[in-house]
Amino acid sequence: MQSKIISRRDLDFLLYEWLQVDTLTQRERFADHTRETFSATLDIAEQIATDLYAPHNKKNDQQEPHFDGETVHIIPEVKIALDAFCQAGLMAAGQDYDLGGMQLPSTLEKAASAYFTGANAGTSSYTFLTIGNSNTLLKYGSPQQIDTFVKPMLAGRFFGTMCLSEPQAGSSLSDITTRAELQEDGNYRLTGNKMWISAGEHELSENIVHLVLAKIPGPDGKTIPGVKGISLFIVPKILVGADGTLGERNDVVLAGLNHKMGYRGTTNCLLNFGEGKFKPQGKAGAIGYLVGAPHKGLGYMFHMMNEARIGVGLGAVVLGYTGYLHALDYARDRPQGRHPQAKDPAQPQIPIIEHTDVKRMLLAQKTYVEGGLALILYCSRLVDEEETGATEEARRHATMLLDILTPIAKSWPSQWCLEANSLAIQVHGGYGYTREYNVEQFYRDNRLNPIHEGTHGIHGLDLLGRKVVLLDGALFKALGGEIQKTIIAAMAVPELAGYAGSLGAALQRIAAVTQKLHGAGDMNKTLANASLYLEATGHAVVAWIWLQQALVAVGKDGVDADFYRGKLQACRYFFNWELPKVQQQLDLLESIDTTTLDMQDSWF
């Protein structure tokens, strides 16, 4: 029976036929691996996700974590699933051997993680936040911090979080007020509140390692205004001794749980630091350990945030993907109606997949989720190139591509794979709007992804306001160069030449419109419609990704011919139905329209 979490055939196509990840085994870091070990990792991921994650997804949603004033209660299936994940070595899958890792490529690690998020978004959050926390400390933490906190996290004994937002600040991190006071022993005492902290309180692990942004006051007691004053601290729930043993409770207290529309299986917390309920070492204040240098915290945290943004994009993809597979299965089994020219009621009804409009909805879903998955795996492949590329130039080129693609990789799937979930509900009809079927939960879970780790608006500002002009446009030129390579290759294939021409025209217009926007002479006008710019550019990028897939699929016959024809038909759909939207959006952007900018509060 084929998985309804994600298509393994599609995954294999993307990994081996398109991205050719098996060639990474020729590099020293991955030399112990083969395609067989890569595939075995995916097999294990699919099995654990299918057997232990997916069965409690609905229960996790309906019986969400609750707080009795002392303890957060979570259904037992969550810990069973997480323990299996950790015991399989997947927490450290991408890490060095001396950290207990497998030294898997990032591309394989992301592909494996897709199964868990698709099977159960709520349960998977605990481990993936821990992985991001660990990666940040491995890059910026001291050897002692790595020994004390990272190694237990990679072993699955400790879990981790990221604590950025505050009730009054949200995404405006320059306005955080959490303070970190230097102590005589060289450590810090933190006081303040953090909001929207996923996995912030539970009893699923021995300890919780919070990475907390806070400001260090100067001798006058004042903090540095803005983001330049932000530092990063490790604040464990339970203090850890020099020998690794757990000690007393730190002054970190759960003030309450947030009750979300979806993602209900992950505790989402308001945490109080230093309120005095606990008095570690005899006094109030949460004990924290400075990571790296003072006032560099936001830069450090961006390492985890950027990793999380790719993870959010992946989460959006796989929730859309599993919704698509559920809708496809339903459409094949659900009889209803007859063809317009065959209305004889004596004839049997046909499966709804035979209806043209249902095909339209399924085809749209296919292009969104398979295109989105390809985009995320391409970005993961860039991570591998960034870390293990043969030359410094190759590594630098990968970094530039990854930097400019990150806002798109986070935001495009969050918008369009959510739309795939909406279409999955529509395919189910009235049944899709009931809790007896799974697709309504997939939609609710996915609705978080356009919000967290930066809204569409924030990533639009990042792409148009910063990334496309960074280093005199070097990132933008690097991406354009890669797209142009694909256009040239597709021009040589008669079946794809028309698509190549359309993509080339879109690329030229995006470049011209970008230049005109930045020549407006007023950044308010330049950035007024940045979200639309993000959407238009994202669609062009995914069209490029689809054209690359088509180059692999074209001319393939044999036993798998239907699979390749499906790829080519999806490419045809995206170029005929989706890419034309970009030109209309660029018309509006090119006009430097100020309709939204000119709107006044009192006019609403």
Is the Cβ–Cβ distance between 270 and 193 less than 8 Å? yes
Dihedral of the alpha carbons of 242, 243, 244, 249, in degrees to the nearest 10: -60
Q: DSSP letter string over 480-508?
A: HHHHHHHHHHHHTSTTTHHHHHHHHHHHH
Phi first, then psi, for residue 214 (nearest 5°) are: -155, 170
Catalytic, 392? Answer: no
Q: How far apart are CA 373 and CA 133, in angstroms?
A: 24
Output the six-digit token pair for 205: 């692990």
Count of other CB atoms within 10 angstroms of residue 225: 10
Token code pair at residue 1 = 């029976």
220-226 long-range contacts (CB < 8 A, ≥24 apart) are 223/179, 224/295, 225/174, 226/174
Q: Provide the pairing of β-strand 268-273 with 246-249.
A: unpaired
Residue 173 tokens, joined:
């991190």
Assign 23 to helix, strand or coil: helix
CB environment 501-521: b (16+ within 10 A), e (fewer): ebbbebbebbeebbeebbeee
CA–CA gap between residue 250 and residue 285 (Å, rounded): 8
Which alpha helices (DSSP H) does 243-296 contain, by range?
A: none
Catalytic one of 46, 453, 535, 578 = 453
Q: How far apart are the first and last CA of the chain?
A: 53
Give the active site residues.
453
